Amino acid sequence: MSIRCRVCRVELKDEDIVVLDDFNILRHKRCYDFEYYDHLVDSVGRLEDLQGKLPRFMLEVYKEVLAIGDPKNRLPEEIPDEEVYASLAFLGN
Ligand SMILES: [Zn+2]
């Protein structure tokens, strides 16, 4: 499975430095418009480290949803990141 940069459309490589934004979109760091969209940056790093990661903002949203039906009545902030990823994998994502 290949991922292309949203800006230049070139395929992203494992060792490329990329930007993950709040909308779960990956772009080359060199293609990212930091001047205008700096506030939307979630993480910057090598593709192999960021691939499959959800932006912090989206993790929080999923935790809110999981907390609603949580049998242990935990608060969203008590739910670990791993549990969000596990439930998404369960849904076949
Ligand atoms: Zn690019």
- Chain segment 71-90, per-residue pLDDT in tens: 999 999 999 999 999 998 87
Which pTM was predicted? 0.83
What integer best gives the mean pLDDT of the chain? 94
Q: Classify the phi-psi angles of 92: left when phi > 0, otherwise alpha if psi is within -120 to 50, otherwise beta.
A: left
pLDDT of residue 90: 72
How far, in Å, is the centroid of ligand 1 from the Cα of 1?
17
DSSP one-letter code for 23: T
How far, in Å, is the centroid of ligand 1 from the Cα of 6?
7
Q: Which amino acid is at 72?
A: K
pLDDT of residue 39: 96
pLDDT of residue 22: 95
pLDDT of residue 2: 86
pLDDT of residue 13: 97
**Cα first-last separation, the chain:** 14
Asked whether 6 and 21 are in contact (CB, 8 A), the reply is no
How far, in Å, is the centroid of ligand 1 from the Cα of 51?
15
CA distance 79 to 62: 10
The parts of the chain modelled with pLDDT lower than 70 are 1, 91-93
pLDDT of residue 49: 95
pLDDT of residue 1: 65
How far, in Å, is the centroid of ligand 1 from the Cα of 8?
4
